Each structure stands twice: as structure tokens, then as C-alpha cells.
Amino acid sequence: MSLPVSNPPSAGPLLHATLIVADAAPLVAAYAHLGLVVQHESRIAESDAGAWGAAGSHLVGRRRVDLGPLGAAEPLLRLIVVPGTAPRPTRWHHGWLALEILVRDVDTLATRLAMAGGAGFQVVGPPADLDVSPAIRAMQLVGPAGEMLYLTQVKAEVPPFAIPLSSRLPQGQDLGPLFIAVMATPSRAAALAACAPLGAGPALQFETKVTVLNRALGHALDKRWPVATVQWAGECLFEIDEVVDPGVRPPLAAAGQSLPAGLAWIAIACDAVPAGLRELSPGAWIECCPPRRS
């Protein structure tokens, strides 16, 4: 299996994910058990919302809480508090389905969560080696806002995908960067087309089991779904899962917003298009950020 020949990606890496929630406290408490701490708290300024465009204009003045690994310079999650926002169970809505986050040792994290009574997370997939490669071992969780996490230990390179190794995590850091964002979309082809102008790299299309979806939607565990991966710079990917099913509904909006509740958008470094928010697929928004300059 190899990726189609194309230009290398000019956009990437993935930076962080934004969740719109009714209350930050349950997420702050839950993610503390995964090693995330509050890095910064503020109110969203007009300049920030202005950079997001019309979709973000109603977020001015909302409380913002950034969570990241202890000692890390950048956040992994950005929480925006909009009272009245209901959790969005991502398994039953189009939009961003899951965040795949690099971890040092997934079994150690699983034990830590079990000793904390789940710590506010629901385990929907215990640690297991993946079918695609025994070099990848992962577990799946659902968090307080309905967001799904794939906590993934990468033990060796997995061609043709360019993804990071757990052994490269900084000393003392158990949870690493966001390296894959997974969307559930009614059209794989349309989502792929929307990624192309951003500076996407090679895309690979195939069919595979998505066990967490099969369980949630009541299908046989070996049911396969049309999937694509899009390579970004910085050892990052989008996974695009085409999910057409009576049990999957349109995106659930945050209170008074056009943006989705819960897992709302993904930030990516990109200079191919103007900065701001744009929708790649129903409910799957991204924030294009200027690349960091060294």
C-alpha cells in the first residue's frame, strides 16, 4: 500500500482542537487525569473573533480556557464556554468525530483512568493493537462534552503514513500532540475536494472497520466504511470517514451559534488561504492559522 504521488503538503501541523461547552469545570477535571493543565484563561477578544470571521462573531466576550501538557508551550485543547450548550455525542452526528492524540504508554493511561473511576471519561474501546498495524496500540474514550478521543501509542513507523513515534515525546510528558483529526461526513469525495485548496498532501482512499461506529450504530463489528486519509506536514493526518446511516444526524449546534456543540473545530497551520474558520463538511470546521515562524 502506498500513497498516491502528489506534491508534499504545504499545510500543517495540526495545532489544537476547540470545544464549545456549557461549563469548563468538568473537562478541566477530567483532562487533569490525562496530564493536561490549565495554561491560560481569558475572555475572547473582538480581534480573535474577527480573525475567525462571521462564524465566530458571536463568541466575543466568552470565557476561554486553554489546556495543554505540563511544560508545553502550546495548548492541546481550547474550551469556549457558552452556557446552555448541550454535549454533542460525536458518534451520532456528522462533523468532527474524534481527536487522535499521541501517548507514551496507552496501557498505563488506561490503568490510571480505571483507578480514578473513569475520571469523567467513558471507555468505549480498551487498549488493543490495531488491525492496520501491530505497531499502533490505542484505546477510545468519550469525554464530558461527547468528544471522542483515540489515545494512541505508536511504537514504530507505519508506512505509508507519516505519523509521530511515542518514543519522541519529551521526558515527563505522557500525552503528546494531536496528530490525527477524524471527521464523519456524508461525502468522502466532497471532504477531500475541500481539503485540496488548503495545501493538502497525498490522499489515500480505502474501506476499513470503524469499531466505535459499528458498536454505536448497532452494526456487525466487521462492517467496513469508506475512509480516506489526507497527509499534512508535521506528521499529521485527517481521517475522513464517510458515514451515511439513519442513526447519524446533522451536526448539533452550540447554544445560539452556527458552530457545532462540543468538538467544534480543528486548528491547522496553513498559509495557502486567508486565516479564519471554514467548513470542510457539515459540522467539520477548521481554523486556518498562520504558520509559526522560527
Cell of 72: 508545553
Alpha carbon separation from 253 to 25, 58, 99, 117, 280 (Å, rounded): 21, 13, 19, 30, 16
pLDDT confidence of residue 144 = 97
> Residue 258 has what DSSP assignment?
S
Domain boundaries defined on the chain: 14-289
pLDDT confidence of residue 1 = 43
pLDDT confidence of residue 24 = 98
Cell of 131: 488491525
Any bridge partners for residue 200, and if so which? none
Q: What is the pTM of this model?
A: 0.94
pLDDT confidence of residue 133 = 82
- Burial of residue 222 (number of CB atoms within 10 Å: 0-12, 13-18, 19+): exposed
Cis check: omega of the bond before 160, within 30 degrees of 0: yes
Round to whole Å and give the CA distance between 180 and 268.
11
Round to whole Å and give the CA distance between 256 and 227.
32
- DSSP alpha helices (H): ranges in the chain? 25-32, 46-52, 106-115, 188-195, 211-217
pLDDT confidence of residue 72 = 87
May I ask the CATH class of domain 14-289?
alpha beta
Sequential pLDDT tens for the chain (294 residues):
444 545 789 999 999 999 999 999 999 999 999 999 999 999 999 988 888 988 898 999 999 999 999 888 899 999 999 999 999 999 999 999 999 999 999 999 999 999 988 899 999 999 999 877 889 999 999 999 999 999 999 999 988 899 999 999 988 888 989 999 999 999 999 999 999 999 999 999 999 989 999 999 999 999 999 999 999 999 999 999 999 999 999 999 999 999 999 999 999 999 888 888 999 999 999 999 988 765
Q: Which residues of 54-77 are buried (b: 16+ CB within 10 A; e: fewer)?
A: ebbeebeebebbbbbbeebeebbb
Cell of 82: 457558552
* Cα-based angle 10, 240, 74 (whole degrees, multiple of 5): 55
Letter for the amino acid at 92?
Answer: W
